[in-house]
Structure 1
Amino acid sequence: MSAEIAQWVEQVGPAVTAAVSAYGAAMLTRAQGAAADATVGLGQRVLQAVWRRRDGAGRAELERLVDEAVDEQDERYTTAVLSRLLRNAMQNDPELQEELSAMLPAPATGGVNITASGERSIAGQYIGTAITGDGHAAPRS
């Protein structure tokens, strides 16, 4: 698998998972509503593009996988199933890869500049939970 496909799947995974969680397999044939948020809308457009390029049996299989992912109600499982589906679809169809890649905005060029200043300052692009200041107990496992 190319690094480009892997990076694309990692970027679009949350949107596809959100669309599946919101609508299930019905999202494959559902018109995007004006009120749908950008993440769900992107995920829906991605999966609809894959769905349109399949024949009857391929569409039924995609619907089955989406329904299975929704029924599982485990976001990690859903993400893994859908990521595998997208990687396979893109590897087997260069035109689809081009169409799907065009759906994401181009990555920003250049580096990220983060500055922390002052006593006990912290900085990070993605750090998860950060607790600063005095009087906080250490998190327990």
Structure 2
Amino acid sequence: MGTEIVSLVEQAGPYLTAAVGAYGTAVLTRAQDASADAAVELGQRILQSVWQRRDEPGRAEMARVVDEATGEQDDEYSTAVLSRLLRRTLKDEPDLLAELVRLLPTPAAGTVTITASGERSIAAQHIGTAITGDGHSPLRS
């Protein structure tokens, strides 16, 4: 698999998960939502670009995969499932790669992108102690 595909899939994964988390399977066919945040909107645009290139059996498979990711509580698993679908599509549709590269932001050299998605998620480049959930007491030094 080409390094361009791997790089694009790694960069797109959090956007796909954000869009599916926000809209579920409706992400494939719903109109763009002006109130959606940038990550959700970009994920939706990527998924719809893939959706438009697939035939009926491919769309049925994609709907099944997105539905599976929607019902999942683990964002890492959802990202992996959606990334696998994107990788397979990019192998079959090389011109789609160029289209998606134009959609994704170009990170500046040395820039770190950190994304948190889902209830009680935490995103940080450097962190000491982080506790999410109910019923925890602060740690004592």
Regarding TM over 0.5, the answer is yes
What is the TM-score of this pair, normalised by structure 1? Answer: 0.78
- Measured after TM superposition, the shift of residue 98 of structure 1 is 0.9
Query: Is 1:66 equivalent to 2:56 in the alignment?
Result: no
Alignment of 1:111-122 (within 5 A): 111=110
1:8-42 deviation per Cα after TM superposition (whole angstroms, max 9, x unaligned)? 11111111100001111111000111101100000
Considering Cα pairs closer than 8 Å and 6+ residues apart, tell me whether 1 or 2 has the greater RCO.
2
CA distance 1:72–1:127, shift in 2 (3 Å): closer
Q: Distance in 2 between matches of 1:68 and 1:130?
A: 34
- Measured after TM superposition, the shift of residue 92 of structure 1 is 1.5
1:117-140 deviation per Cα after TM superposition (whole angstroms, max 9, x unaligned)? xxxxxxxxx743147xxxx73xxx
Query: Is 1:129 equivalent to 2:95 in the alignment?
Result: no
> What corresponds to 2:100 in structure 1?
100
> What corresponds to 1:8 in structure 2?
8
RMSD over aligned Cα atoms: 1.7
Give SS of 1:60's match: helix
> What corresponds to 1:81 in structure 2?
81
1:54-104 deviation per Cα after TM superposition (whole angstroms, max 9, x unaligned)? 111111110110001111221111011001111111121111111111101
Give 4+ residue runs of structure 1 displaced > 4 Å after superposition. none
Q: Distance in 1 between matches of 2:10 and 2:21?
A: 17
Q: Distance in 1 between matches of 2:36 and 2:125?
A: 29
Identity fraction in percent:
57
Query: Is 1:28 equivalent to 2:28 in the alignment?
Result: yes
Q: Distance in 2 between matches of 1:27 and 1:129?
A: 33
Structure 1 unpaired stretches of 5+: 113-125
Number of paired residues? 119
Matched letter for residue 100 of structure 2: L
> What corresponds to 1:117 in structure 2?
none
Structure 2 unpaired stretches of 5+: 112-123, 130-139
- Measured after TM superposition, the shift of residue 106 of structure 1 is 2.5
